């Protein structure tokens, strides 16, 4: 089998890329997929893949044996078959019978798990955010290109028929010249309390769970869900739910680089708990050369929606505005009187789109290609860096470095813990 990337011109004269498959597949073969990270989003990955007519989950991988045992029992009950298990994702990558993986680990594992999968010849579906920091997201893009892998980012709204129509309408000028996008994440996030370190529970490989992060004494304050609110593992809500919205902000505005000016402010105002990330956060991202701006706001507790939007996006143009509510609904309002324009509600299947691209080896078939994983995640990371440093930052979107700010540059990456290191050369 050739590993050479070849190019042809597709419909409309657009150059498309055909990537080498890890092994030859006939039209009747089912893709054999492993789900890495069987808690939280991993459960949706299992259901999503098992709903596909030409794919199946053949392996579940998680460093917590108790979670694996629960998922195996649920899998057998739901699908009437047993499933292979592993606690170490490296053993999954060594298995030549596995064609592709989905990654639903905590954020700090996403990029490295995807890079290792690419190096092992596996195609990848990686949960949002695609990265825990800017550096590793770029390395994930490089790995996907070098090893000719289909890497899909888990931003499901990109496969929504309604949202794809909404972006097309923005491109056609439905609200005129679009100059600003606003992302909203108003989610009910209660106190997580205060939890002290304790012994590692039986069945959990805590070294593997920690992976590339710096190891802290085990605590229930971050294992298994609340790692979202600890900088060592998560990125706050702008880097959690917010990645769907940062991605749509960039997509709808038509910007395909990171911004030149970033500022962010917020804090913890309600709970004296173990969360390190802000409960309330407002970030501004400025593209002065393109005369565009992104605003992003996180509110965590008692709050109002905005034009009915609690989680979603608002786009502003010189003829009106568009609201995008959740993953599958949009509505246009025009002029001073806010007269209703086009609107629609319709979903889509992001897993099916990924599998289509895996089979065709054509990145143009992807709705959420690897570049979106890097850029939408990096946008959140840049806001968090500004928030943590407490100042306005100037950024070079070509070099992906800050301008004259060595302290900020150190926050573009992390101190990786061996052997779980994202390499400079992938």
| H or E segment to which residue 381 belongs | helix 370-389
Angle at 109 between CA 353 and CA 54, to 5 degrees: 25
Determine whether 218 is exposed, middle or buried from the number of CB atoms within 10 Å of its CB (0-12, 13-18, 19+). middle
Distance CA 158, CA 333 (A): 22
Residue 151 has pLDDT above 90, yes or no: yes
Both 37 and 152 in a single domain?
A: yes
Q: What is the pLDDT of residue 3?
A: 31
Same domain for 267 and 239, yes or no, is: yes
- Residue 118 is part of a domain; what is its CATH number? 3.40.50.720
Whether residue 290 sits in one domain with residue 168: yes
Strands (DSSP E) found in 43-113: 55-61, 84-86, 100-103
Do 409 and 415 contact (CB within 8 A), yes or no?
no
pLDDT attached to residue 270: 96
Mean pLDDT of the chain: 94
Strands 311-317 and 292-299, bridge-based pairing: unpaired
Q: Cα–Cα–Cα angle for 195, 199, 201, nearest 5°?
A: 100
Cα 198 → chain centroid: 31
How confident is the model over 383-412, as pLDDT tens digits? 999 999 999 999 999 999 999 999 999 999
**Domain around 278:** 161-193+208-347+377-405
- Whether residue 417 lies inside any domain: the answer is no
Alpha helices by DSSP H, 95-190: 110-119, 134-146, 161-172
CATH of residue 399's domain is: 3.30.360.10
Label residue 119 by pLDDT band (50, 70, 90). very high
Q: Does 132 fall in a domain?
A: yes
Same domain? 141 vs 250: no
In a domain, 77, yes or no: yes
Q: Is residue 54 part of a domain?
A: yes
Q: What SS3 state is found at 374?
A: helix
Segment 63-82, tens digit of pLDDT: 999 999 999 999 999 999 99
Residues 254-279: pLDDT tens digits?
A: 999 999 999 999 999 999 999 999 99
What is residue 16's predicted lDDT score, i.e. its pLDDT?
42
In a domain, 410, yes or no: no
- Say what the pTM is: 0.94
Together in a domain, 267 and 325: yes
Give residue-wise pLDDT tens across range 316-343: 999 999 999 999 999 999 999 999 999 9
281 Cα distance to chain centroid: 19
Residue 186 lies in a domain: yes
The angle subtended at Cα 238 by Cα 234 and Cα 239, nearest 5°, is: 35
Residue 116 CA: distances (Å) to CA of 5, 103, 144, 175, 414: 20, 11, 10, 43, 18
Please count the structural domains in the chain.
2
**Same domain, yes or no: 238 and 97:** no
At 27 the pLDDT is: 59
Q: Same structural domain for residues 267 and 356?
A: no
Beta bridge partners of 108: none
């Amino acid at each position: 089998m050739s590993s050479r990337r070849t190019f042809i011109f597709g419909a409309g004269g657009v150059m498309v890329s055909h990537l080498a498959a890890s092994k030859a597949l006939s039209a009747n073969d089912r893709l054999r997929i492993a789900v890495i990270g069987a808690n939280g989003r991993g459960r949706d990955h299992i259901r999503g893949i098992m709903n596909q007519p030409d794919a199946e989950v053949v392996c579940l991988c998680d460093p917590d044996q108790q979670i694996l045992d629960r998922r195996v029992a649920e899998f057998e009950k739901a699908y009437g078959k047993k499933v292979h298990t592993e606690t170490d994702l490296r053993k999954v990558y060594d298995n030549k019978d596995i064609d592709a993986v989905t990654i639903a680990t905590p954020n700090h594992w996403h990029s490295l798990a995807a890079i290792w999968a690419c190096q092992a010849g596996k195609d990848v579906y990686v949960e949002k955010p695609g990265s825990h920091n800017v550096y590793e997201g770029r390395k994930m893009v490089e790995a996907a290109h070098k090893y000719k892998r289909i890497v899909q980012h888990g931003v499901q709204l990109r496969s929504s028929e309604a949202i794809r129509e909404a972006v097309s309408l923005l491109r056609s000028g439905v609200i005129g010249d679009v100059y600003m996008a606003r992302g909203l994440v108003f989610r009910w996030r209660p106190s997580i309390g205060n939890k002290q370190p304790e012994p590692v529970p039986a069945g959990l490989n805590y070294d593997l769970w920690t992976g590339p992060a710096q190891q802290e004494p085990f605590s229930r304050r971050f294992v298994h869900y609340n790692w979202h609110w600890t900088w060592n593992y998560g990125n706050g809500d702008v880097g959690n739910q917010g990645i769907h919205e940062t991605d749509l902000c960039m997509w709808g505005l038509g910007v395909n680089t990171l911004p030149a000016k970033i500022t962010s402010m917020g804090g913890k105002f309600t709970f004296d708990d173990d969360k390190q990330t802000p409960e309330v956060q407002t970030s501004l991202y400025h593209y002065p050369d393109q005369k565009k701006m992104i605003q992003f706001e996180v509110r965590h507790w008692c709050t109002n929606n905005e034009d009915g939007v609690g989680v979603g996006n608002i786009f502003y143009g010189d003829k009106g505005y568009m609201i995008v509510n959740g993953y599958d609904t949009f509505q246009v309002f025009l002029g001073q009187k806010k007269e209703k324009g086009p609107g629609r509600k319709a979903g889509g299947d992001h897993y099916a789109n990924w599998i289509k691209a895996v089979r065709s080896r054509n990145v143009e078939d992807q709705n959420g290609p690897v570049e979106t994983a890097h850029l939408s995640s990096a946008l959140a990371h840049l806001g968090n860096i500004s928030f943590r440093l407490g100042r306005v930052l100037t950024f070079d979107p070509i070099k992906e470095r800050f301008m004259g700010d060595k302290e900020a540059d150190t926050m573009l990456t992390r101190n990786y813990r061996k052997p779980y290191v994202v390499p400079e050369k992938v």
